[in-house]
Amino acid sequence: MTPRVRCLLALALIPLINGCSSASYYSQLAGGQWRLLQAREPVTEVIADPQRPAALREQLVKAQAARTFASQHLHLPDNQSYRLYADLKRPYVVWNVFVTPEFSLNPITHCFPIAGCVAYRGYYSQGAARGEAALQRQDGKDVFVGGVEAYSTLGWFDDPILNSMLTWGDERLATLIFHELAHQRFYVKDDSEFNESFASFVEQEGTRQWRAHQGLSPSRDKGLQQRKQFIALVLNTRQRLQELYAQPLPADEMRQRKAAEFARMRGEYRQLRDQQWGGNPRFDGWVNSPMNNAKLLPFGLYDQWVPAFAALFESVGGNWPRFYQEVETLAQLPPKQRKAALEQWAVRQ
């Protein structure tokens, strides 16, 4: 047993002093990570095995080219992460449970020994995630459960390419590798918005440079533009809700006005879809399903500070090492000052 595996198992014992519920949660985390580690195999062996599906082998060949590009051109960590493969026989590696109060967009955070405080709890079983979600709803909270294709152990282990990462094509796989390696390159405890927005920027700019490296034209994918417009619509809704929740209103009136904001978002989405997208229904399922504060959380986490990081990257002339140095300087600021600095960078962008 390696020292890091022993550390993982030891961390699973920490919550025993806090009761059986915490112990059970950490136990499933340790068990899920252990099974993932056991499922890994070198990508080179999969590619060389004629018994494996040809499509899988071809996709892994392309993924390794992107992996090499990530270290050589984006200055992301050069290690064995994403040079391994694991088939977990399920569509997602974990399911994250996001929770907020009924009248707040502030997530219920959870703190861990290595990752610090984050805005969700992850479960290796969809059933366990749904069970946790049901308990939170009974407590009057807003809850959202979302499947996750990949995650980073922040360099503690050699993270593999997972079968859940292969479903959306070669370029999407490259972007996931860039995103997760960005977490290994830099991570600040207790600031999910900072970490995810940083990784999202590295993913987006890395993908742009990856396309250029392959001799491809800049992406003019209508879907990408539609996604940006959709994210802007959701973030605008978040802003209006934040302003609403700051008002001293009775609960019944707050509840009615909250529902009205979600109705407005749906109306604006349908107008955007029908007038600018030619009726493309790609987000219909998400928009038409039950809506609450927690469902909006991933947008704030993954997208809020992307413009700020884009402006910072431009300010250093697109030099990756200098960019990472500036990111580290930002992260050393106290939380309030860090947020203020990001707001200033976002305005510049």
DSSP class of residue 49 equals -
pLDDT in the model for residue 114: 66
Q: Which residue in the block uniquely carries the two structure tokens 């490259």?
A: 174
Q: Rg of the chain over CA atoms, in angstroms?
A: 21
User: pTM here?
Assistant: 0.84
pLDDT in the model for residue 26: 87
Hey, is 155 helix, strand or coil? coil
Nearest-5° angle of CA 221, CA 226, CA 230?
Answer: 150
pLDDT in the model for residue 222: 72
Q: Which of 86, 225, 68 is nearest to 149 (CA)?
A: 86
Tokens representing 115 are 């990752």
DSSP codes of every residue in 286-346:
HHHS---HHHHHHHHHHHTTHHHHHHHHHHTTT-HHHHHHHHHHHHTS-HHHHHHHHHHHH
The widest CA-to-CA distance across the chain, in whole angstroms, is: 66
DSSP class of residue 17 equals G
pLDDT in the model for residue 225: 85
Q: Which of 172, 170, 209 is nearest to 76 (CA)?
A: 209
Whole-angstrom distance, CA of residue 340 vs CA of residue 53? 50
Q: How far is CA 224 from the centre of its chain?
A: 17
**What is the dihedral sign for C-alpha 92, 79, 2, 44?**
positive
Hey, is 108 helix, strand or coil? coil
The tens place of each residue's pLDDT in the chain, 349 residues long, gives: 443 433 333 333 333 333 445 788 889 999 999 999 999 999 999 999 999 999 999 999 999 999 999 999 999 999 999 999 999 999 999 999 999 999 999 999 888 776 778 888 999 999 999 999 999 999 999 999 999 998 889 889 999 999 999 988 899 999 999 999 999 999 998 888 899 999 999 999 999 999 999 998 776 667 778 988 999 999 999 999 999 999 999 999 999 999 999 999 999 999 999 999 999 999 999 999 999 999 999 886 777 899 999 999 999 999 999 999 999 999 999 999 999 999 999 998 6
Which one-letter amino acid corresponds to residue 312? L
The bridge status of strand 161-162 relative to strand 84-86 is parallel
